[in-house]
Amino acid sequence: MLEVDLHSHSTYSDGLLTPAELVTRAHGHGVKMVALTDHDELSGLTEARVAAEARGMRFIDGVEISVSWASETLHIVGLNIDPLHSELAGGLSKVRAGRHIRAERIAADLERAGIAGAMAGASTYARNPDLLSRAHFARYLVERGFVKDTSTAFKRYLTKGKPGYVEHQWATLPEAVRWIRAAGGAAVIAHPGRYKLMNKDREAMLGEFRDLGGAGVEVVTGSHTVDQYATWARYAQRFGLKASAGSDFHGPGESYLDLGNLPDLPYGLVPVWGEF
């Protein structure tokens, strides 16, 4: 088992636990190095760091940036960033500003599908009003009994081609990598197995990311099957990228992997946290 977990969410984005609760849970599961990586948001980092250091853990400042690339949304995790760096903070505030208008459009689309009150309903789940996520809409759909759980909410709603999905322009890949590097961090492609890309597009993504100065790919994540660990380990080696590992924990009952339940990296990979 790894004592490292470099991908997690708190109530500052779409997680269910506060930063201190999250870190306490990670500590209880034997994690010695933990990163908080809220979507497009840095506000939870101070609270998480204080809680982690009080428990003798290494804390890594992180963020998960939403990126539009070709016709996909990619998530780029920034690790070991300086949360006070103005280029990163300014870029993220621009990305967050787009979320409110997207949420209004999601709610209007759901309304057309016969689901009323989604904007107000989702907002009650978002403790950070700047950071309305599809996960908050999913919780509202569960609450109202339209679906039995959040994963069904994404299957029937909120994903491409379904009611409640709207196209949105996030940051570009060069922007995200530039902001992370400017803030002294390492850029990592989050859960690459989740993107619907043909092999040639995967190669284009990895090549472009490496040429921009990207550091690594998440090989071990709650989003990957064991087969995908091997697939993305090979891509990392082929493109000379390091490897990261993180549960992507959002909360009890909402995530496939819990904090600190990660298997070791496949043999031969260079851990991105080696330099932290």
What is the per-residue binding string for ligand AMP in 181-220, x denoting contact by CB under 6 A?
A: ----------------------------------------
Q: Which CB atom, from 14 or from 47, has the smaller least distance to ligand AMP?
A: 14
Q: Is 248 in the site for Mn ion (CB under 5 A)?
A: yes
Listed in sequence order, the residues at least 6 apart from 172 whose beta carbon sits closer than 8 Å to its beta carbon are 67, 68, 69
78 neighbors 66 (Cβ within 8 angstroms): no
Find how far residue 67's CA is from the centre of its chain. 11
Q: Which CB atom, from 244 or from 271, has the smaller least distance to ligand AMP?
A: 244
Q: Could you tell me which stretch among 83-91, 128-136, 228-236, 266-274 binds ligand AMP (CB under 6 A)?
A: 128-136
Q: Is 61 in the site for ligand AMP (CB under 6 A)?
A: no
Nearest CA to 9 among 191, 249, 221? 249
Cα–Cα distance list, 271 to 33, 40, 68, 93, 223 (Å): 13, 24, 26, 30, 19
Site for Mn ion in 167-196 (CB under 5 A): 190
SS3 content of the chain, % helix, strand, coil (to 5): 40, 15, 40
Q: Which CB atom, from 42 or from 190, has the smaller least distance to Mn ion?
A: 190
Q: Is 40 in the site for Mn ion (CB under 5 A)?
A: no
Least separation in angstroms between residue 39's CB and ligand AMP is 5
Q: Pull the structure tokens for residue 193.
A: 């197995």
Q: Is 14 in the site for ligand AMP (CB under 6 A)?
A: yes
